């Protein structure tokens, strides 16, 4: 059974159908990439999965539980974290306060300190700046904070929306190597990226999205070698 199963998902904004019946699944331990152009509906899908958006149709099942109608804050408790597009850190709170909010749903106070240390180990810069206002961090640091904050909830599945957006090539490398680490430590990853090359390089499987529909899916390797993907997304 898949960890996350999305079936015939439909999302509408007013009268506009943004997602027109999308189905995909994520198995435990996998890194899955959703790739597609701007406006294809990638972010909308993540928002629908994590409960920020209501669904017009279809179902979302997580670990065998139907979470279609769950509000976002309840889904977090089930072990699914969402790193939103644009980082969305709490600019007027300190780095440490942001991280603590990431652990808002956790009740195991003792293990919490361990998680914090793990996050600091993975992102040493966050520890250096723990008392600094999050709004004063650079874009790359904010991305790390957003990821660290999501990890604080100790998720089994982490959704990441455009983690490389707006970052310099060196930082993009760093972020992707961190995603690889996160995956290696046992967290399942559902990644949305415009940077298709990077997204396919890191993924086990991927889905290609075009104007609210999945038009192609397969192993990352298959997709990298697919002529239409090469042309449209890899710039070859």
Partner 1 sequence: MTRIAGREKVMSFLNYLISGLSLGSVYAIIALGYTMVYGIAKMLNFAHGDVIMVGGFAVYMSMNALGLNPILAVIVSIIVCTVLGIVIEKVAYKPLRKATPLAVLITAIGVSYFLQNLALLIFGSDAKLFTSVVNIKAISLANGQITITGETIVTIVVCIIIMVVLSLFIKKTKAGQAMLAVSEDKEAAELMGINVNKTISLTFAIGSGLAGIAGALLCSAYPTLTPYTGSMPGIKAFVAAVFGGIGSIPGALIGGLLLGVIENLSKAYISSQMADAIVFSVLIIVLLVKPTGLLGKKISEKV
Q: Which residues bind partner 1 (CB under 8 A)?
A: 50-52, 71-74, 76-77, 81-82, 84, 86, 88-93, 97, 100-102, 104-105, 149-150, 153
Instruction: Evaluate whether 53 touches 220 at the Cβ level (below 8 Å).
Output: no
Q: Which is nearer to partner 1, 144 or 220 (CB)?
A: 144
d(CA 203, CA 198): 9
Q: Which residues contact 224 (CB under 8 A, 6 or more apart)?
A: 200, 201, 230, 234
Q: Which residues pair with 94 in a beta bridge?
A: 133
Task: In angstroms, give the least distance from the CB of 85 to partner 1.
Answer: 11
Q: Which is nearer to partner 1, 37 or 101 (CB)?
A: 101
Task: In angstroms, give the least distance from the CB of 223 to partner 1.
Answer: 29
Task: In angstroms, give the least distance from the CB of 79 to partner 1.
Answer: 11
Task: In angstroms, give the least distance from the CB of 20 to partner 1.
Answer: 23
Task: In angstroms, give the least distance from the CB of 144 to partner 1.
Answer: 16
| Letter string b/e over residues 8-34, b meaning 16 or more CB atoms within 10 A of that residue's CB | ebbbbeeeebbbbebebbbeeebbbbb
Q: Which is nearer to partner 1, 106 or 197 (CB)?
A: 106
Q: Which is nearer to partner 1, 146 or 223 (CB)?
A: 146
Q: Is the dihedral of CA 72, 196, 218, 220 positive or negative?
A: negative
Task: In angstroms, give the least distance from the CB of 196 to partner 1.
Answer: 23
Q: At what angle do helices 109-122 and 139-151 cross, to 10 degrees?
A: 150
Task: In angstroms, give the least distance from the CB of 73 to partner 1.
Answer: 5
Q: Which is nearer to partner 1, 77 or 221 (CB)?
A: 77
Return the residue matching tokens 């199963």: 5
Q: Which is nearer to partner 1, 90 or 120 (CB)?
A: 90
Q: Which is nearer to partner 1, 69 or 184 (CB)?
A: 69
């Amino acid at each position: 059974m898949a960890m996350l199963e999305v079936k015939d998902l439909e999302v509408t904004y007013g009268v506009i159908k943004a997602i027109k019946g999308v189905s995909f699944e994520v198995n435990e331990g996998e890194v899955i990439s959703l790739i597609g152009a701007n406006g294809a509906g990638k972010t909308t899908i993540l928002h629908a999965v994590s409960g920020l958006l209501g669904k017009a149709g279809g179902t979302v099942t997580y670990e065998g539980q139907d979470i279609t109608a769950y509000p976002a804050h309840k889904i977090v408790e089930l072990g699914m974290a969402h790193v939103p597009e644009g980082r969305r850190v709490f600019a007027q709170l300190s780095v440490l306060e942001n991280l603590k909010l990431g652990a808002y749903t956790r009740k195991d106070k003792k293990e919490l300190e361990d998680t914090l240390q793990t996050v600091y180990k993975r992102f040493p810069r966050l520890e250096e700046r723990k008392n600094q206002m999050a709004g004063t961090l650079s874009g790359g640091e904010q991305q790390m904070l957003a990821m660290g904050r999501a990890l604080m909830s100790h998720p089994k599945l982490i959704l990441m929306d455009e983690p490389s957006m707006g970052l310099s090539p060196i930082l993009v490398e760093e972020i992707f190597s961190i995603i690889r680490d996160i995956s290696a430590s046992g967290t399942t990853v559902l990644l949305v990226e415009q940077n298709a090359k990077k997204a396919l390089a890191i993924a086990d499987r991927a889905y290609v999205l075009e104007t609210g529909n999945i038009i192609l899916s397969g192993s990352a390797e298959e997709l990298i070698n697919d002529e239409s993907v090469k042309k449209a997304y890899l710039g070859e």
